[in-house]
């Protein structure tokens, strides 16, 4: 595909995304889009670690939760505007990412997996038991939404409606994906991949693997933290469940289903599973059985066994075979 054609496609996609709230005016549908968007930031940032760097972090929900709690607490206790809270949430999560990166320098595989789970579980227990700060299992409620923007006398954009929130999220998404695209195509991204394939070989040609690992952990955590802060001001309720293992496993399933180690895969997976699970909810109402998570588990196993590169890999294979048939 030529560069201009792919640019045209991108512009078309952006126009569609901007137009959606005016075409489909259903508030619930917009809510789903926002949920999917938050998951896109989470899966993309998780993919940076697991897909590109080969670091299996099973504590991603901790970064998300740290960002959510940080921004929510700053807004409730200190009256800080959520706009700055988004950045602060990211920064707090980034610090946690850096700290968790330190043990990860020497660990891999199951050792890293269990250390990151441990980190998230400890954070969840703190959120659960430091009742005077976090209200324990009740969670933080009454979190203010994003502050309204005043354009002039009588003209203001407030963020009680899904539509305006959606546009802010869209901006955030573009920024995130732009950053990740630049990052993974730069020398930094290439070095990460080289380290994933063979760490010793990468070090022997001068890659400082410790610095790279710490950096990628911090960046990944920062974006997850921003997503968490955004979620807190949108949902306006944060509970310790946000940090639970289930949340990380959902992120993992989405990313693997979409295609680990690609840029588009995690986006595709997050959107697909968010809408699939809604579709299944209607099915559940009919058959009165909770099948959603059973299907998540099956999807994860089937993807790992039969389509290792996820839906993205499948799509590429299909388009490739169509193209070659046209030629031949």
Interface positions with other proteins (CB under 8 A): 50, 54, 56, 103, 106-111, 113-115, 117-119, 121-122, 125, 128-129, 245, 249, 252-253, 256, 289-291, 293-294, 296-301, 304-305, 308
* Residue 144 · residue 237 · CB < 8 Å: no
H-type alpha helices, 105-186: 109-129, 131-134, 162-185
What H or E segment, with its residue span, contains residue 156? strand 155-157
Instruction: Give the separation between CA 18 and CA 138, rounded to whole angstroms.
Output: 36
* Residue 225 · residue 89 · CB < 8 Å: yes
Query: 122 or 318: whose CB is closer to other proteins?
Result: 122
Q: Least distance to other proteins from the beta carbon of 56, Å?
A: 5
Query: 88 or 112: whose CB is closer to other proteins?
Result: 112
Query: 118 or 144: whose CB is closer to other proteins?
Result: 118
Give me the half-sphere count of Cα atoms (radius 13 Å) on the Cβ side of residue 56: 13
Q: Least distance to other proteins from the beta carbon of 50, Å?
A: 7
Q: Least distance to other proteins from the beta carbon of 100, Å?
A: 10
Query: 82 or 259: whose CB is closer to other proteins?
Result: 259
Q: Least distance to other proteins from the beta carbon of 289, Å?
A: 6
Among 65, 44, 94, residue whose Cα is nearest residue 244: 65
Q: Least distance to other proteins from the beta carbon of 272, Å?
A: 16
Query: 177 or 245: whose CB is closer to other proteins?
Result: 245
**Pairing label, strands 237-238, 155-157:** unpaired
DSSP-assigned letter for residue 308 = T
For helices 209-235 and 162-185, the axis angle rounded to 10 degrees is: 170
């Amino acid at each position: 595909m030529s560069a201009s054609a792919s640019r045209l496609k991108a512009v078309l996609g952006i126009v569609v995304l901007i137009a959606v709230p005016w075409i489909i005016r259903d508030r619930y549908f917009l809510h789903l889009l926002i949920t999917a968007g938050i998951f896109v930031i989470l899966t993309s940032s998780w993919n940076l670690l697991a897909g590109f760097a080969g670091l299996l972090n099973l504590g991603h929900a901790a970064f998300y939760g740290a960002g959510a709690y940080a921004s929510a607490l700053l807004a409730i206790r200190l009256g800080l505007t959520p706009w700055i809270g988004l950045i602060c949430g990211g920064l707090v999560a980034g610090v946690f990412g850096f700290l968790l990166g330190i043990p990860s320098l020497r660990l891999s595989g199951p050792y890293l997996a269990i250390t990151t789970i441990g980190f998230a579980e400890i954070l969840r227990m703190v959120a659960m038991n430091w009742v005077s700060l976090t209200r324990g299992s009740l969670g933080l409620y009454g979190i203010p939404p994003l502050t309204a923007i005043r354009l002039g006398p009588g003209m203001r954009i407030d963020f009680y409606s899904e539509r305006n929130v959606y546009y802010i999220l869209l901006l955030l998404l573009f920024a995130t994906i732009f950053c990740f695209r630049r990052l993974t195509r730069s020398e930094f991204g290439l070095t990460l991949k080289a380290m994933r394939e063979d760490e010793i070989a990468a070090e022997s040609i001068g890659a400082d693997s410790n610095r790279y690992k710490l950096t990628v952990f911090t960046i990944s955590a920062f974006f997850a933290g921003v997503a968490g802060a955004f979620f807190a001001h949108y949902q306006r309720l944060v509970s310790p469940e946000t940090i639970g293992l289930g949340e990380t496993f959902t992120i993992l399933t989405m990313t693997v289903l979409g295609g680990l180690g690609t840029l588009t895969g995690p986006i595709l997976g997050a959107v697909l599973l968010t809408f699939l699970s809604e579709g299944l909810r209607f099915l559940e109402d009919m058959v009165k059985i909770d099948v959603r998570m059973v299907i998540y588990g099956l999807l994860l196993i089937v993807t790992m066994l039969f389509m290792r590169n996820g839906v993205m890999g499948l799509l590429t294979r299909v388009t490739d075979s169509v193209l070659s048939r046209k030629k031949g």
